[in-house]
């Protein structure tokens, strides 16, 4: 009778460990030394999506992590492959999205003597991760996989990196030597200190002009039903941060997004629900905020409390748990927000601003402006579609016009302001829809500059038959370019590098023709009729991606602002 024990190599140990921890999606680009590992992933039933650029792969992986709360994995080769995802790791870390990057690396016996793509990958990744390590041997691979995923999901979510030299992936050991770890349980629920809840409630009761700001943390925390009940029960006006949109519907009667500037400046008590007082909220400082405003802060991360402004009440807690307890306490007090004068003023400001924007939407002169384009896009898309957006004015103006009534249905450049995320995010969103809400569509709205960062991912969408509708709002430049006549004058110069403005791109480029490379049709639009027809037709096609390229006035801009877009942090 044989006592032989079956052997297993590092590739299969790693693939099985990821499957055991419920990892479902891996995005990447294969090469030495991870080719065999990518095949092992598919053999254990993990979905592998081959991308065209490592940056897009890491953006897709973190977006699926945000949508599912299980880290997506980005698989890259050694050296340059790993370095290409550094921006993506930083984006996930700052955005607080769970991500695991797995990098192949130079064989250990080649280190220090000029090995192929030799790079100190563990240390290079450490500043952008919650956990960065190289398993010391094949037997301990599952231990480090479990730890990396646990670090990426527990507390404030973020990025983790695991490094696998070629010799570790190919190493063979007996199966019974593998140190397996239990599947990770759901992150523990942090309940609020009831004394802080009581203080927060009393502050809201005594507020004359209260305001709620709903952040991305509330969306990630799946707290939408509790927060909707809280807003509606107590009649509190609210704003949402870009990816907090939809936790409470944008079309809710208590949304004061159209009076954002007025609301921030005049609120005397602000309840922050998973929203950070960073640059997106102008650091909570004057002149954007009342100098005497009081903040109630609820966040999963203790380190975020009091970060840029001293909160009057700071509560570390799970969002659902905290809002639910606050709701119960205020209900026992039989409190309702009866500050009708404050609500009336906010609604008056909303109405005034909406009228101004609507007047811009009615301008159908050619070339078109942003507001007109987005109005006609909005009128022709499913109201429950997921919206991915990046670009400067494209993203900012689109946020105000393309509404979200469902949580986690908007993905954009985020806290790090990263360009190039759009197509990767859209791929992840489409895969999420395929599994969790079949038939739901993804709209990816890009500026022409933003699209250029990751345009070849269109081929990835075609390869996997993902019915994503890409809209490029094309103004011939970064922020804005020039018109055709001005461009012609510039082109007459013999010194183009000295005369083409740094913000300009080529004019009237037919980006939609990229789809013809794959036997598909794109749309080029200059009028509102063409926009409406193209968007409708694009959403009817579910066989793969569609592309709508909309030309607008290169000088088109957002409506006038009362303040500079970015507030100084030190006043």
Over residues 223-271, the pLDDT tens digits come to 999 999 999 999 999 999 999 999 999 999 999 999 999 999 999 999 9
- Res. 367: pLDDT tops 60: yes
The predicted pLDDT at position 565 comes to 53
Confidence tier at 559 by pLDDT (50, 70, 90): low
The predicted pLDDT at position 526 comes to 97
**CB–CB of 214/274 below 8 Å?**
yes
The predicted pLDDT at position 216 comes to 96
Strand partners, 297: 272, 314
The predicted pLDDT at position 309 comes to 87
Nearest Cα neighbor of 550 from 521, 517, 518, 528 is 528
- Between 222-226, 359-363, 433-437, 526-530, the lowest mean confidence (pLDDT) is in 359-363
Cα angle at 437 between 434 and 438, to 5 degrees? 50
Confidence tier at 562 by pLDDT (50, 70, 90): low
Out of 43-57, 324-338, 473-487, give the one with best mean pLDDT: 43-57
The predicted pLDDT at position 1 comes to 42
Q: What is the pLDDT of residues 49-88, one digit of tens each?
A: 999 999 999 999 999 999 999 999 999 999 999 999 999 9
Cβ neighbourhood burial of 531 (10 Å; 0-12, 13-18, 19+):
buried
Nearest Cα neighbor of 503 from 448, 550, 453, 558 is 448
- Res. 446: pLDDT tops 60: yes
pTM of the model: 0.95
Q: What is the pLDDT of residues 390-406, one digit of tens each?
A: 988 899 999 999 999 99
CA distance to 69, 220, 272, 316, 413, per residue, from 190 (Å): 17, 15, 17, 7, 29
SS3 assignment for 314-337: EEECCHHHHHHHHHHHHHHCCCCC
Tally: H helices and E strands in the chain:
22, 19
Asked if the peptide bond before residue 367 counts as cis, ω within 30 degrees of 0, the response is yes
Q: What is the pLDDT of residues 266-302, one digit of tens each?
A: 999 999 999 999 999 999 999 999 999 999 999 999 9
Q: How far apart are CA 550 and CA 530, in angstroms?
A: 9
b/e for 551-561, b at 16 or more Cβ within 10 A? bbbbebebeee
H helices within 235-281, ranges in order? Answer: 260-266
Confidence tier at 3 by pLDDT (50, 70, 90): low
To the nearest whole number, what is the mean pLDDT of the chain? 94
With both helix axes pointing from N to C terminus, report the angle between 54-68 and 86-95 in degrees, rounded to the nearest 10: 20
């Amino acid at each position: 009778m044989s006592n032989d024990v079956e052997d297993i190599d590092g590739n299969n140990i790693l693939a099985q460990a990821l499957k055991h921890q419920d990892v479902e999606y891996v995005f990447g680009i294969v090469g030495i030394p991870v080719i065999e590992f990518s095949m092992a992933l598919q053999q254990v039933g993990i979905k592998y999506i081959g991308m065209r650029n490592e940056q897009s792969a890491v953006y897709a992986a973190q977006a699926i992590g945000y949508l599912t709360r299980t880290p997506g994995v980005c698989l890259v080769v050694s050296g340059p492959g790993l370095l290409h995802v550094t921006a993506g790791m930083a984006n996930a870390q700052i955005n607080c999205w769970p991500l695991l990057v797995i990098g192949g690396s130079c064989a250990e016996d080649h280190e220090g003597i000029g090995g192929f793509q030799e790079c100190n990958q563990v240390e290079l990744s450490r500043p952008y991760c919650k956990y960065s390590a190289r398993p010391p041997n094949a037997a301990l691979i599952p231990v480090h996989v479990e730890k990396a995923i646990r670090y990426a999901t527990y507390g404030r979510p973020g990025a983790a990196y695991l490094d696998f030299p070629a010799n570790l992936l190919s190493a063979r050991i007996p199966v019974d030597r593998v140190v397996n770890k239990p599947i990770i349980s759901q992150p523990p629920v942090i309940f609020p200190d009831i004394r802080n809840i009581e203080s927060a409630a009393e502050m809201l009761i005594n507020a004359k002009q209260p305001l709620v700001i709903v952040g991305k943390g509330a969306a990630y925390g799946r707290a939408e039903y509790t927060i909707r009940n809280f807003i509606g029960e107590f009649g509190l006006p609210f704003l949402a941060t870009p990816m907090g949109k939809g936790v409470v519907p944008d079309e809710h009667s208590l949304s004061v997004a159209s009076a954002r500037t007025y609301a921030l400046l005049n609120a005397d008590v602000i309840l922050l629900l998973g929203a950070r007082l960073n640059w997106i909220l102008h650091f909570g400082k004057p002149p954007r905020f009342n100098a005497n405003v009081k903040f109630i802060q609820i966040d999963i991360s203790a380190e975020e409390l009091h970060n840029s402004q001293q909160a009057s009440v700071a509560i570390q807690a799970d969002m659902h748990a905290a809002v639910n307890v606050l709701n119960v306490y205020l209900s026992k007090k039989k409190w309702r927000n009866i500050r009708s004068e404050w609500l009336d003023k906010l609604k008056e400001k909303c109405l005034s601003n909406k009228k101004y924007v609507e007047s811009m939407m009615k301008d159908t002169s050619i070339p078109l402006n942003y507001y007109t384009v987005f109005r006609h896009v909005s009128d022709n898309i499913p109201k429950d579609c997921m919206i991915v957006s990046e670009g400067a004015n494209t993203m900012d103006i689109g946020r105000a016009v393309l509404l979200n009534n469902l949580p986690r249905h908007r993905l954009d450049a985020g806290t790090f302001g990263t360009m190039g995320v759009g197509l990767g995010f859209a791929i992840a969103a489409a895969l999420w829809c395929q599994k969790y809400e079949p038939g739901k569509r993804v709209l990816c709205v890009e500026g022409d500059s933003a699209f250029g960062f990751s345009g070849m991912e269109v081929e990835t969408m075609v390869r996997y038959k993902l019915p994503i509708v890409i809209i490029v709002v094309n103004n011939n430049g970064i922020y804005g370019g020039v018109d055709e006549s001005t461009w012609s004058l510039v082109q007459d110069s013999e010194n183009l590098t000295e005369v083409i403005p740094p913000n300009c791109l080529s004019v009237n480029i037919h980006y939609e023709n990229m789809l013809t490379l794959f036997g598909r049709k794109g749309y080029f639009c200059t009028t509102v009729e063409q926009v409406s027809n193209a968007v409708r037709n694009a959403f009817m096609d579910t066989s793969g991606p569609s592309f709508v390229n909309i030309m607008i006035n290169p000088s088109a801009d957002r409506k006038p602002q009362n303040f500079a877009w970015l507030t100084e942090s030190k006043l």
